[in-house]
Every structure is written in C-alpha cells, then in structure tokens.
Amino acid sequence: MTPPDITTEETLVQQLCDRQEQAARLFYSLYAGELSAVAARYVGRGEALKDVMQNAMISVITRINTFSYRGKGSLKAWAGRIVANEALMWLRKTGKMHWVELTSNAEELPDTQEELLVNDVPAEVLQTFIEELPEGFRTVFNLYVFDDYSHKDIARMLGISEGTSASQLHRAKKALAVKIKNYINRHA
Amino acid sequence: MKEQWKHDLRTRLQKHEVPAPELSWNEIGEKTGWKKAPKRTTRRLFYFSAAACALLLTGFFVVTQLLQKEKNLLLTDLPVKTNKPRQQVQAAALPVQDVGTLQGGEGNSDVFVGRKQKGTVQQHTDKGGRDILPALGTDETVISEADGTTSETALYAETQQVLTTEKPVEKSAVNVASQTASSPVIPGNGAGENRTGELFDKRTLKEEPLLAVSVYASGSMSATGGGGNSRMEMAFESRFSDPLTSVGLEAGGYKPMLEVPIKKVKHQQPLRLGMQVQWNITPQWGLATGLSYDRLVSETTFTGSESSVRQVQKLHFAGIPLQAVYTFYRTRHFRTYMSAGGRVAFPVGATLSTESNALLPGVSKHTENLHLTRPQWSMESAVGAQWLPFRKVGIYIQPGVVRQFNNHSGIETYYTAHPLGFNIDLGLHWQLGK
C-alpha cells in the first residue's frame, strides 16, 4: 500500500476524531499490512492476529483524540504502539507468556560476539522466524528490538526481573541466529 | 556500531507487511459508536443523482443551443412575415396591443419589452405625405415584431426601395426633419399603400447582409441594441461605404453624420450572493452545489445632437452551480483546494428604466419589465484557501476564472461584454456534523 501523504494523514485523523466509519475503513486499508506485521511478531497469525487487530482498531478509534499529529509517519507509529499494547494484553489474557530463567550453564551465557546476519535473509523469512520463536522470547525480543525499550522498562511492563528480560532476549537472539544460519546454509 | 544487528533488523522489517485479517466492522461500530457510512444503496443513489443532474444540465444546454441555431437559420429563410411594421407605421390611427421598445439585435428572437398599452400610434407625416419615424427616445417607437433583425431588414429594404423610386425631395420634408432634430425621415406615399410583397422578398434579405444599417433608420434607438458600440460603428461605417444610401439620405434633407446618436454602454461589476453545500465523497474529492443570486446592472446612453436617452437595465438571476472540489492540502486549521464545474442561472427578474431629455412632447421617464426566458450558462474554475480558526467555522477566499456562454437573448450584459472574466469569492464556512 502506498504510504499516504501529509494531507491524507491529517484529514484522516480529523475524520477519525469525528468517528466516521469511512475514515476507519480507509485507515485500515492504508496501514493494516504493516500493523498486522507488528501484531504477528507478538502473537503469530490466525485467530490471534484477528483478535488483536480487532481490539487494536477499536482502541485506535476510541483513543484517536489523544493523538497529536507530529508529521508524516507519526500516525502509523502511534498506531503501532497501540497494536503492540493490544498484543501484550492478549498474551497476558490468554496466559501464553512463559519465562525461562537464565541458568548458570556456561553454554547458555550470552555470546556478545554473535551477530545476526539479517541482511542475508529476506524480510518475509525474518518475519516468519520471529513469529516461530516461543512467546516469552519473542515478546521481549520485539519490545527490545522493535519498540526500543530497555530491559528495565521491559521488566516493569511484563512484571519480570531485568535478568529474565535479558535472558529472554539472549535466547531469542540465539534461536534466531541458528535459524538464520540454517537458512543461509540451505540457500548458499 | 553497538548492536548493529538490531538496527539492521528494524530497518529490514520496518515496512514489512503481512496479509491483514478481515475485521468485524459491525462490532467496531457498536463499540465505538461511529457514524454509519452511507449504505451502498444510498451512495449509489447519490452517484446516480449526480450523474443524472449532470446529464440533464448538459442536455438542456445542448438542446437550447440547437434550438437557437435552428431558429436563426429559419429566420434567414423567412420571405414574408414582416408586413406589420409597415402597416403600423403607415396607419394613421392603428390600435396597438404591444407597444414598446425592442431589445437587442443580433440573433434576438425572444426579448420584447412588455409595456403593454392600448391606444393609438401617432403617425408622423409631413406635408408631402411622407412617413416620419418617431424621434429618438420617444414612446412612439413601434416595432411589433420581436425579431429585431427582421424588422430592421424590412425598414432597410423599404428605404432601398424608396430611394430608388422616389420623386425629388420636397422642401416640406426638410422642414419637418429640422423640426424633429434627430428624427430620420423615410419617404413614402402616406396613403397606407401595402407594398410588402415587393419590399420583403427573400432575395433582398439574402443580398443585403449588412442589416445593421437599419438601426439608425428604424427609429429604434431607444433600444439597448444588440451589438453595443461595435454595432453602432458598423452602422456608421456603412453609411459612408454605401454611396446609394448616403446620397439618398442626404437628398432626404438631413445630416446623416451628425444625427447618428452616440451610444455608450457601461456595465457595473456583477454582484453575486450565494450559498453552497459541499459533500465530501472522499477525504480529497467532494461535490458542491447550491444556490446563487446574480445582479447585473448596465447603463446605456444615446446622445444625439438635441436629445439623449439614458437607460438602466437591471437583471436578476438565480443560479445553480455544480462543481467538483479537490482538496490538495489540508491541516487542522488550513485547507487549499481547487474546484471546477458549471453553473446555470435562470432569469428571475429584469427591468429597464428609460429616461429621456429629448425636446419632444410625450417623452417621459418610465420603467418596464423585461421578459427573459433564456438561462445563462457558464463554466467556472477556481483555487481556494480556507482558514479554520475554529473547528467548525472558518473563512475562505476563492479567486477563479469564469467563462460565460452566449445565451443569444440579445441583451447586453456584463457577461456578453466580458465572456471570460475573473472573480473572487469571499465567504464563511460552516462544517456540519460532529
């Protein structure tokens, strides 16, 4: 979907404030693909994705009055946060977040030298790899990587310790690195 | 760079999309309480209505234009039908139903000043039995046909006929002409002889395209005149270019050059008041229509050597515009847009006030109603800027260009003088709904 220009975004915000169905449908047709990608990274696809997007859309419409336009792309970014929040709420509500605490096993210690070769893998594949991660891993991974939260913030948001957050991220990263490596080996 | 992978991953997936699920819009609507979008049937009805209106307007325009063309063609082929002017001018005391002044000239066919009165037309006759057409600006100017072209032709043809067969000029004619100052004298037999058959034949009409010559000779100078200044210039030039006419008129005993009245037309700037409703079909496209009122005032003066006539013409139109509006920039308090469309304006009232200072008896000041039937079509395009200091109320300025089409009514207006014009709309804007 072609990104809308400033005029469209501002008009859209105004019409969403007026609670116009037409504007809501337009908003969804413009941003649904990218917002669904955000949601899918947290909850996967299928019915879960539908539930999250449904609730996110309701939140967008009911909370649009709190949004202040700050230039091109600000509406999408704001809506992305809404989607992420709705995804977290869905995970909490369904009890699907499981945390694996970091053990003292040496092989599970963070490997700071390891880098993810993300540029060698198509975006669609990366998206699928993230969606395949266990809920706990990918939740922290998404909050840390895409929403740019610190471990301190993530710990407070999820009600876990900072260490747990760090371990989830490490495991997620390591799991992703394995998947990427396998993919590269398969397609080399 | 620390955590380069994080940056790379974000960049790679920043605009990544996945198939979006279908939402339950009814549930969203119930939970958010939004305004329901027009149902498909309503929307379809709107599009159908808009298309039908556009089609009707276009059809009406085309039909009126075609009818007018057909009418003009028929007029050029009409051999007879114009014996009335001759009869009325010659009759000594003919009862008259329609007495008034003729409006317009070129292509005029439906405009007649409707001052109806019953009475008699005083015949101006000199001692030699010649018919004298009424003086400039008098109430006695008589043309029974609403078709100015035909009447003028008749009188011109009559003049030609008389000039070629006339006896030598008598002194009495000179006396009368000098008494009536600007009154042209058309010699005749004065006995009510009907010579229509030989005066208004088809051949004469076709062979003499410069029908404007008859303007000054017909005595209809009190009319506003269809061609304005240019029309008068034509007539003036033709008097010199046609030696026969020139000689004949001079032989008639009056001064042709001095007696051509000078016509000046001054159009006031049109005033338009209106109300417009705009329906935004999409965030950028909208359809606007409404109602407008146009007031056109024109002042025409005819100045002769010893008399002058001043006419003030006031026309009132009610118009219906239909425009497409495209918003190309919009913020919360500012909007710029373009619009284009058409307007049809129907005449709802017209008056013609005539004031004469001619030194002739029976000259008075009077106001008459003009009966106009033809709509005024125009195409418009504009660029507008709207400032919304409040959420629902704002002001706007909209400069634009307008192309007015000739409605062939023969009435001189600001629109006929300036078919392509510029305008500036200033207005208040209310946004309805939530």
pLDDT in tens, B153-205: 444 444 444 444 444 444 443 333 333 333 333 333 433 333 333 333 343 33
* CA atoms of B235 and B213, how far apart (whole Å): 5
Q: How far is A105 from chain B (nearest CA, A)?
A: 24
> How much is the pLDDT for B369?
86
With a pLDDT cut of 70, the percent of chain A lying above it is: 86
> How much is the pLDDT for A144?
92
Q: What is the mean pLDDT of chain B?
A: 63
Better-predicted residue by pLDDT, B371 or A115: B371
Q: How far is A171 from chain B (nearest CA, A)?
A: 15
Subunit contact B9:A126, Cβ cutoff 8 A: yes
Q: What is the ipTM of this complex?
A: 0.84
With a pLDDT cut of 90, the percent of chain B lying above it is: 11
Q: Which is nearest to B215 in space by CA: B200, B237, B247, B243?
A: B237
Which residue has 């895409």 as its token pair?
Answer: A146
3-state secondary structure at position B329: strand
3-state secondary structure at position B20: coil
* CA atoms of A60 and A69, how far apart (whole Å): 14
Cβ B145 vs Cβ B225: under 8 Å: no
Residues in chain A: 188
Tokens matching residue B393: 């109320």
Cβ–Cβ contact A128 with B under 8 A: no
Subunit contact A119:B8, Cβ cutoff 8 A: yes
Cβ B125 vs Cβ B132: under 8 Å: yes
Subunit contact A23:B330, Cβ cutoff 8 A: no
Rounded to 5 degrees, φ, ψ at B116 are: -95, 135
Subunit contact A20:B327, Cβ cutoff 8 A: no
Interface test with A, best of B10, B16, B279, B335 (most A CBs within 10 A): B16
Q: Using CB atoms, which residue from B10, B34, B332 is nearest to A20?
A: B34
Name every chain B residue with its beta carbon within 8 A of the beta carbon of A150. none
Whether residue B221 is predicted with pLDDT greater than 60 in this model: the reply is: no
Q: 10 Å Cβ neighbour count for B273?
A: 10
* CA atoms of B229 and B219, how far apart (whole Å): 17
Cβ–Cβ contact A10 with B under 8 A: yes
Name every chain A residue with its beta carbon within 8 A of the beta carbon of B4. 115
Q: Which is nearest to B392 in space by CA: B339, B429, B356, B341?
A: B429
Cβ–Cβ contact A24 with B under 8 A: yes
> How much is the pLDDT for B14?
84
Subunit contact B20:A28, Cβ cutoff 8 A: yes
Long-range CB contacts (within 8 A, 24+) of A41-45: A41/A127, A41/A130, A41/A131, A41/A138, A41/A142, A41/A146, A41/B13, A42/A84, A42/A87, A42/A88, A42/A90, A42/A91, A42/A138, A42/A139, A42/A142, A43/A87, A43/A90, A43/A91, A44/A131, A45/A131, A45/B18
DSSP letters for B39-55? PHHHHHHHHHHHHHHHH
pLDDT digits (tens, 9 = 90+) for B391-421: 778 889 998 999 998 888 878 888 888 888 8
Q: What is the pTM of this model?
A: 0.39
Cβ B253 vs Cβ B169: under 8 Å: yes
Whether residue B137 is predicted with pLDDT greater than 60 in this model: the reply is: no
> How much is the pLDDT for B232?
30
Q: Which is nearest to B339 in space by CA: B414, B272, B425, B270?
A: B425
Cα B121 from chain centroid (whole Å): 30
Cβ–Cβ contact A124 with B under 8 A: yes
Cβ–Cβ contact A26 with B under 8 A: yes
pLDDT digits (tens, 9 = 90+) for B8-41: 888 888 888 889 898 888 888 888 877 665 555 6
Residues in chain B: 434
Tokens matching residue B197: 């058959």
> How much is the pLDDT for A102?
55
Q: Using CB atoms, which residue from B6, B9, B23 is nearest to A54?
A: B23
Whether residue B345 is predicted with pLDDT greater than 90 in this model: the reply is: yes
